[in-house]
Every structure is written in structure tokens, then in C-alpha cells.
Amino acid sequence: MKYLLNYFNFMLALGLGWLVVVVQSTWLHEIFNIYKPNLLMVMLSYFALNRFMIEGGFLALLLGYFVEVNSGAPLGLYMVVYVMTYYAAKFLGMGFYIKSPLAEIVFVAGVSLFYKVIFLLVMGIFVDVRSILGAAWMTGVSMVILNCLLTPLGFHFLRWIDEVTDKERPSKTGTQERAIQVW
């Protein structure tokens, strides 16, 4: 039963991610234009703190794919950026005990900034990013501020979903990965 609930939680996270991509690229784009929050960074930050490494990496890869399907970006751009951002956030989250709302907000701000920098570095493979640095700076600052404002609500909602589905979480005091039982 536990595996079924974990599978249901994983599929629910994917469905929620797809819904966030749709909302982010339609309604939020209409309201905020290019100065919109990146709700997927809030989700990715939560996954970095509350998912096992492989599971969260796979979620990050699929969320990046959902963004790519919905954009005109070169194939692989968002998948690489999301996976790199997730693993950087995961390693950072493993080193610190992040449980208070203020620490979560600071964590999301750092992850959002890292995402923007990695995005520009990977985008530099395809185009000259010097021409868009000014706009990227402004969109990055607005994204970080709006992500910080939405972090408590997003973390509370995702935590509630994990509690309802009785999601198994990595331990901060023991090993981060599940032990493989031979017998």
C-alpha cells in the first residue's frame, strides 16, 4: 500500500507540475508579462528538501520537459537547467537544516537565483546572452521576489499533499536514500 501511495504522490506531483506550467505560461504571463514568478522553482525547491535524490531528479527532468513542450526553446535546454538546479538545491539542502519558513524563503531565493544564472549559462551555448542581460536581471529580480512571497503558500500546499498521501521523506538524521533490502 505504501508503494501505491508513493506512486500516487509522484503522479500527483507531475500533474500539479503540468498544471503549474500551463498556468504560468498563460494566466501569469497575461497578468505579470515577463516579470512573473516561476512557480516551478518553488516546487523544485520543495522537492529538493522533501524527496529522495533519484525521485526528485526524475521529477525535475520531467518538469523541464513539460516546460520545453510548452516553449520554443531548443530541445534539452530546460531539462538540463532544471536537473542541474535540482541537484544543486538538493546538495545545498542536505547540508543545512531547513525547516523554518524564513529558511525556506531564503532557500527558494537562492535556488531561483541559481536557476537564472544556470539558464543564462546554458542559453549562452545557443545565442549571445550579452544582449539580454539587462532584461534577464530585471526578470530575475522580480522572479525571486515573487517566488519568496509565494513560498509559504506553495510549501504549505505541497506539504499538505505529502501528508495526505503519507509520502515517505528522506531523513535529515540518517541516510538520504532508502536502504535496499536483500532478503
The tens digit of pLDDT for each residue in 154-175 reads 999 999 999 998 888 886 544 4
What is the number of structural domains in the chain? 1
Spatial CA neighbour of 6 closest among 65, 50, 44: 50
Per the domain annotation, does 124 fall within a domain? yes
Query: Does residue 8 register a pLDDT over 60?
Result: yes
Secondary structure E strands in 55-179: none
Per the domain annotation, does 52 fall within a domain? yes
* pLDDT tens-digit map of 93-136: 888 878 889 999 999 999 999 999 999 999 888 888 888 888 88
CATH number of the domain where residue 92 is located = 1.10.1760
Percent of the chain exceeding pLDDT 70 equals 92
Average pLDDT over residues 55-70: 93
Per the domain annotation, does 178 fall within a domain? no
Per the domain annotation, does 181 fall within a domain? no
3-state per-residue secondary structure call for 53-77: HHHHHHHHHHHHHHHHHCCCCCCCH
Per the domain annotation, does 183 fall within a domain? no
85, 43 in Cβ contact below 8 A? no
36, 28 in Cβ contact below 8 A? yes
* pTM for the whole structure: 0.87
Per the domain annotation, does 172 fall within a domain? no
* pLDDT tens-digit map of 73-91: 888 899 999 999 999 999 9
Note down the domain range covering 117.
Answer: 2-164
* 16 C-beta neighbours (distance < 10 Å), count: 16
Per the domain annotation, does 176 fall within a domain? no
Looking only at Cα atoms, what is the longest distance across the chain?
59
Per the domain annotation, does 177 fall within a domain? no
